[in-house]
Structure 1
């Protein structure tokens, strides 16, 4: 009898966890759809709760605020399974050339996913202060995630060492940013493959060539 009770409790715990995950996913999908259709600044937590079929306190309990929802949506878009597979490659090599090519792959994965998953939401809410604030936070995260690779470049290449860590971080962050992806892929019609290949070569040239801009 005791064994049956233990199994029943274990099953109930797993069932509750699965239900909680399903509820969370449904709220996020609803929020993304509402933000994409009506704009971040217009949609309220009550709107999202009603459309998702849950109580507003449930949304607050899971995400705390609209900014929390935005963070969860963007994090899931930027740092999903595809990103994890590519980023994992940075842990298995110390070849600086390969790390720069992987850096280009990571940028391609992030901005391809953004274009497909939340491009419409960003377009509708282009002037939303709340969205801009959350995106700025993720830009800071993206900047700091590159710092380890930048340190290896400074250690390995005299040209990068001459620039110094701060400027190497700044240059890498600039080249791998959204604006260059937008101009080349979205506005000029480059394929994602062409963008990734160009970016990898450009990063290698920027930090390994003998003659380059001298930092003052």
Structure 2
């Protein structure tokens, strides 16, 4: 008696998973291109689907909404800046100066790879409450990371009279997308030069001078 069922293709489930991941990536790439070219408000899910070469229901199945797409792009931007590298450098460093350098390096990589997207999300958030939460969540995570690092330093590391909250505020005032874009675009600095200046400025503003 012969088997009437067609033979199963090996690794079919893995193939479907790989195809689904590629579809997700194609949709995210299309959304990023359109958000940067047209802005958040002017971009529709239908246009994202057309740009990605998929159906509108496929976009919704993958990301639920435009806000879901933005959250995915934020996560991808974080990965592009190599947070694992920053964490490894923070763990390996015993010197606060090297830890500041690790964080500044992450910020430079983030702004270099996704600075334009960050600006689009922030500006759109001024009129779209859901996007406001996306930007604010990312900012709070960054602040918590810096506060955790600073809190682990020995007493007397921060400049005299500088409390933890103010130290985090000063870091945010120096290492942000506006400063990065001003120096790189308006003043023609290289990203590496910005990173080096950040490190020097952070040491000067946050750390007690060596005696």
Q: TM-score range by the shorter chain?
A: 0.7 to 0.9
Q: What 5-or-longer segments of structure 1 have no aligned partner?
A: 1-7, 211-216
Show the 5 A alignment for 1:145-160: 145-153=145-153, 155-160=154-159
Q: Is the 8 A contact 1:27 1:48 kept in 2?
A: yes
Q: Go from structure 1 to structure 2 and tell me whether the alpha carbon gap of 1:158 and 1:141 turns closer, same or farther (over 3 Å shift).
A: closer
Cα shift readout 1:122-176 (whole Å, capped 9, x = no counterpart): 39x94563455533332222222222212124x3435447322211222222222
Q: Is the 8 A contact 2:82 2:106 kept in 1?
A: no
In the alignment, what sits opposite 1:114?
114
Moved beyond 6 Å, runs of 4+: none
Say yes or no: does 1:181 pair with 2:171. no
Distance 2:174 2:75 in 1: 21
In the alignment, what sits opposite 1:90?
90
Q: Go from structure 1 to structure 2 and tell me whether the alpha carbon gap of 1:66 and 1:107 turns closer, same or farther (over 3 Å shift).
A: same
TM-score when normalising by structure 2: 0.81
In the alignment, what sits opposite 1:24?
24
The number of equivalent residue pairs is 201
In the alignment, what sits opposite 2:166?
167
In the alignment, what sits opposite 2:207?
208
SS class of match (2:11): helix
SS class of match (1:41): coil
Distance 1:98 1:113 in 2: 23
Give the structure with the larger helix fraction.
1
In the alignment, what sits opposite 1:77?
77
Q: Is the 8 A contact 1:87 1:106 kept in 2?
A: no
Cα shift readout 1:87-115 (whole Å, capped 9, x = no counterpart): 43112223211101112211111111124
TM-score when normalising by structure 1: 0.79
SS class of match (2:161): helix
CA RMSD in angstroms, aligned pairs only? 2.8
Distance 1:12 1:202 in 2: 54
In the alignment, what sits opposite 1:192?
191
Distance 1:172 1:34 in 2: 32
Q: Is the 8 A contact 2:160 2:208 kept in 1?
A: no
Distance 2:171 2:81 in 1: 23
Distance 2:101 2:83 in 1: 14
